[in-house]
A and B are shown apart, each in its own frame.
Chain A
């Protein structure tokens, strides 16, 4: 079975992200594999373990994004491909989906393509469904459990109201969430393998694409108002007395 895991590189969650001269800046904070995409890799590796096959990790990004691919390799992916091109600066999600669909075709297609739920930076959560639509494959979103049997996938989707169990024929596109299980840590052997891996770089012309025009673009970056608050610790002689005071404070804020 051929599985492609689509990943992205983003600033770490701990990063102090701010606007600087109209650009996003994260200072010296490291760039990491998008935490949601670790589930995409984990899900792909579980599928491989259960069904055999290979896992290819694909990432669109600058040269630095190699590090995110190395993380996927160290977790156990068999190969990694970086799609990088100076003309890919201002992709929107539809543009990214077009590039990923072309890359999936160029790796020779897939039985399953896995995504994370969304990215930490833009947070759109649209690219998986758009890639599926462009490929004409079924989309199974927010999958917490899955099994593959006889050319079919059965997935349990985590929805607002509980879980929806759906079936589809392969090939299919999945977005995978936390219920799949904790992403494995890269092993020592995996890290060694990843450090030596040859990661090919594909340009738009390798994919036979012109730079996709972006429909969605950023007009302005805005720094939100500060959330810093001074915490008033409520004290008293007994839990009942503290509760009494706290309830009055909360009621006086008129939030109920």
Chain B
């Protein structure tokens, strides 16, 4: 099987699930990495280290900013010329639309957000969760090439070998796009809950610390947000000790405690960490569906009846403001930090 693997990145910062896609492609045959942008020598090198046999590079200032139309046109022309059997992407916000548009150009289907992909003879066996993970389906695509996106952390990451290199092949860029990029508001720290091995999340309960006195002159809403931010500091510290990311429930995002990018659940991100620690999250079904793939769930909540305990392996009934710092301290000691 001949596969093109699209390496998704933001100004050179790669979405690591791209390497997982490269590993899947290698396990089924030949794998060419596809990289669009400009000034990406480091990324090209890393693609070889993760197993790309060649890198198809469109190095062009007009592709510095991601604009889906230009990227789709470049990719579709490349695929039409190289005739791969399969085009693989990591599932990200960008690649869903990129895969969607390229499939229109190539008149084929997209198998999206797969959690399983393997080869049986010459046939691809693909599985994906549907109905928010309540069911899985095995799907087939009769078009050619097959276009597929792989869910982050559903496949093993291949070993990185710094000795590896290979040929870089120049790809012609198509830079025409009906959109222009005005600018970015980049978050202080990149939030990658989709890709995190450990997530510590906060919910509405994070604002619920009456012992804190907000600065004078704050109105009620301001004080609530201030309290919540003190709570999220504790959560951030625990996440820091564990090398993880900070997540949030919808209630916390709607409350204005933390940006939407952190939101886990139905209208936020579906995550698959090895460890998920839910602090002050009651566990609405819309949140639970986002953490189904977590390997180990731990819940900390004042309310012993909170539904989050039904999906948690370990629970602590208590006040997160005293318990979360205690847990950070315990891990610091045990992990030698």
A 175-209 contacts with B by CB, 8 A: 177-179, 182
- Does A87 sit within 8 A of B, measured CB to CB? no
A167 close to chain B: CB less than 8 A:
yes
Q: Is B261 an interface residue (CB 8 A)?
A: yes
Contact B135 A256 (CB under 8 A): no
Q: A161-B186, A233-B316 are in contact. List 17 more A-B contacts (CB 8 A).
A: A13-B132, A13-B286, A121-B131, A123-B129, A133-B104, A139-B68, A141-B97, A160-B190, A164-B65, A167-B182, A177-B267, A216-B109, A222-B137, A239-B323, A240-B330, A242-B326, A243-B323
| One of B141, B192, B330 near A216 (C-beta < 8 A) | B141
Task: Determine the chain A residues whose CB is within 8 A of the CB of B141 once the complex forms.
Answer: 215-216
A94–B103 CA distance with the chains assembled, in angstroms:
8
Contact among A17, A231, A253 with B134 in the assembled complex (CB-CB below 8 Å): A17
Nearest first, the 8 closest Cβ-Cβ pairs linking A and B are A215-B109, A243-B326, A216-B109, A129-B100, A126-B100, A138-B178, A215-B143, A129-B97
A-B contact list, 6 entries, CB within 8 Å: A122-B130, A123-B132, A129-B101, A166-B67, A178-B260, A256-B274
Give the contacts of A196-242 with B (CB-CB under 8 A): 214-224, 227-229, 231-234, 239-240, 242
- Contact yes or no, B133 A244, CB < 8 A: no
Interface class of chain A by DSSP: mixed
Q: Are B312's CB and A224's CB within 8 A?
A: no
B62 at interface, CB cutoff 8 A: no
Chain B count of residues within 8 A CB distance of the other chain: 99
Q: Contacts A229-B311, A243-B327 hold; do A162 and B184 have CB atoms under 8 A apart?
A: yes
Chain A residue numbers with a CB within 8 Å of B15 are: 160
Q: Which residue of B lies closest to A125 (CB)?
A: B96
Interface residues of B in 262-309 (CB under 8 A from A): 263, 266-268, 274-275, 285-286, 289, 292, 295-299, 304, 309
Judge whether A242 and B316 touch: CB under 8 Å. Answer: yes
* Residue in A97, A164, A243 whose CB lies within 8 Å of B66: A164
Segment touching A, from B46-54, B78-86, B110-118: B110-118
**Complex-state Cα separation, A154 to B312, whole angstroms:** 43
Chain B residues lying within 8 Å of A18, measured Cβ to Cβ, are 134-135
* Interface size classification for chain A: 35 or more
Q: If the complex has contacts A120-B131, A125-B112, A166-B181, are A247 and B327 also in contact, measured as CB distance less than 8 A?
A: yes
Q: How many angstroms between the C-alpha atoms of A246 and B190 in the bound complex?
A: 29
Residues of A close to B183: CB separation below 8 A:
164-165
In the complex formed, the residue of A with least CB distance to B254 is A182
B127, A222: Cβ atoms closer than 8 Å: yes
